[in-house]
Chain A
Amino acid sequence: ILNVEQSPQSLHVQEGDSTNFTCSFPSSNFYALHWYRWETAKSPEALFVMTLNGDEKKKGRISATLNTKEGYSYLYIKGSQPEDSATYLCACSGSARQLTFGSGTQLTVLP
C-alpha cells in the first residue's frame, strides 16, 4: 500500500486569494499522480494526471506541478472563488496501476 499524504487537511481563504496544497507520495514504484476535485453532493471529478518529473498542468485558474524525485505535487489555485470550495484529493498509482488516495484538503473560499 502506498502512503499518500496531503496537507493541510483544511483551509479557509478569502475570495481573490491564491492558495496551494501539497501531496506527498513515495518516489519509488511511481507511475502517475492524479488530482481530483470533490464538491459537496457531487462525484469526484478528475482535474489532472501527471506522470513525468517536472510535469505542469493547467486548467483555468488551477495548476499543478509534479516532482517525482522527491515525491511531491503541488496544486495551485489563483484568485480563489467561492465555487472553488471543495475537497481536493490526490491519488498515486504504482506498478499495479491502482490508485491510492490521500485524505484530501478541504478548501472553503469565503466571499
Chain B
Amino acid sequence: DGGITQSPKYLFRKEGQNVTLSCEQNLNHDAMYWYRQDPGQGLRLIYYSQIVNDFQKGDIAEGYSVSREKKESFPLTVTSAQKNPTAFYLCASRLAGGTDTQYFGPGTRLTVL
C-alpha cells in the first residue's frame, strides 16, 4: 500500500539526548514536511524539503535538524538545543505542482523526561 510511515509511534528520551524521528513515503512525492503540534495550537512547520539534498527552515526550526539523502526519506533530529521537545510530530509529503495538498503520516509522540 502507498503511504507515509512514521516510527516509532511513541518515543521517550532523557533530557539532553538527541533523538531522530523517522519518516518514509512510497508515494513518489517530491516535497516532504515536518510539523509539530502542541495542545491548543495548530500544526507548526519545522522544516521542509522540495527536492533531494535540499531543505529549508520552517517557522520553528531552532533545535531541530533534517536530512534528505533519498526522495523517500526525511528524518528529523530533535537535538538537545530544543528547549521544549515534548510534542506530537507529524510528517507530510506532497507531489510537486497541483493543489498543494499534503498527505500525512500517523505521527510520533515524543516525550522527554
Binding site for B on A (CB under 8 A): 1, 4, 9, 31-32, 34, 41-46, 49, 51, 89, 91, 93, 97-104
B77 to chain A, nearest CB (A): 21
Q: Give the docked Cα–Cα distance between A100 and B33 (Å).
A: 12
- Which residues does chain A contribute within 8 Å of B42, judged by CB atoms? 4, 89, 100-104
Q: Number of contacting residues on B, CB 8 A?
A: 21
Segment 81-111 of B: residues with Cβ below 8 Å from A? 90, 99-107
- Which residues does chain B contribute within 8 Å of A42, judged by CB atoms? 106
Quick check: B107 and A43 within 8 Å, CB to CB? Answer: yes
Q: Give the docked Cα–Cα distance between A46 and B4 (Å).
A: 14
Q: A4-B42, A103-B41 are in contact. Are A97 and B100 (CB under 8 A)?
A: yes
CB pairs A–B below 8 angstroms (6 shown): A43-B104, A98-B45, A99-B45, A99-B102, A103-B40, A103-B41
Q: Give the docked Cα–Cα distance between A40 and B65 (Å).
A: 28
Q: Is B43 an interface residue (CB 8 A)?
A: yes
- Could you say which of A9, A89, A93, A97 contacts B43, with CB atoms under 8 Å apart? A89
Q: Is B59 an interface residue (CB 8 A)?
A: yes
Residue of A nearest to B91 (CB): A43
Quick check: A43 and B45 within 8 Å, CB to CB? Answer: no
Residue among A34, A45, A97, A98 with the highest chain B CB neighbour number at 10 A: A98
Q: Is B48 an interface residue (CB 8 A)?
A: yes
Residue of A nearest to B39 (CB): A103
Residue of A nearest to B43 (CB): A101
Quick check: B90 and A34 within 8 Å, CB to CB? Answer: no
Q: A43-B4, A43-B106, A98-B45 are in contact. Are A31 and B100 (CB under 8 A)?
A: yes
Quick check: B99 and A44 within 8 Å, CB to CB? Answer: no
Quick check: B101 and A49 within 8 Å, CB to CB? Answer: yes
- Which residues does chain A contribute within 8 Å of B106, judged by CB atoms? 41-43
- Which residues does chain A contribute within 8 Å of B100, judged by CB atoms? 31-32, 34, 49, 93, 97, 99
